[in-house]
Amino acid sequence: MFMGEYQHTIDAKGRLIIPSKFREALGNSFVITRGLDNCLFGYPMNEWRKLEEKLKDLPMTKKDARAFARFFFSGATEVELDKQGRINIPSNLAAYAKLEKECVILGVSTKIEIWSKALWEEYFNEAEESFNDIAENLIGFDF
């Protein structure tokens, strides 16, 4: 399980250090792709395979299912950790997530999220204001 928030910088070559606490669970290679809210999602290979199976079951006769599958899979790429614990983020994914210098890497249960620090702060501040309302809407999940 991934949890926590870490700040790192992406260098001019698109390399980003993955927090040491995440490296073992991610393995030497894992998949990153476009996520929701303009961040990137990172999945260990076993979680990626589970997700892939679920997405295969989407009804491709539905326009939204086709659009989501295209969006998700077209951005997916397998990345490998180098000896310094860095990955190279492809330029198309860095542009999507607006990664420039300062980044935030979050542990979110079965995946990691990679955010531009500015976008994360903006998202966090908005979500923080409505956190109680969000929690109330999830009351059936026994929080």
CATH number at residue 108: 3.40.1550.20
Flag whether 142 is in a domain: no
Flag whether 126 is in a domain: no
Q: CA 125 from chain center: how many Å?
A: 19
Flag whether 111 is in a domain: yes
Flag whether 59 is in a domain: yes
Does position 68 have pLDDT exceeding 80, yes or no? yes
pLDDT at 92: 96
Q: What is the mean pLDDT of residues 72-101?
A: 97
Does position 128 have pLDDT exceeding 80, yes or no? yes
Which one has a higher pLDDT value, 130 or 18? 18
Which one, of 122, 110, 117, 136, lies nearest residue 30 by Cα?
A: 110
Residue range of the domain that includes 69: 2-116
Q: What is the mean pLDDT of residues 66-70?
A: 91
Q: What is the mean pLDDT of residues 82-107?
A: 97
Flag whether 132 is in a domain: no
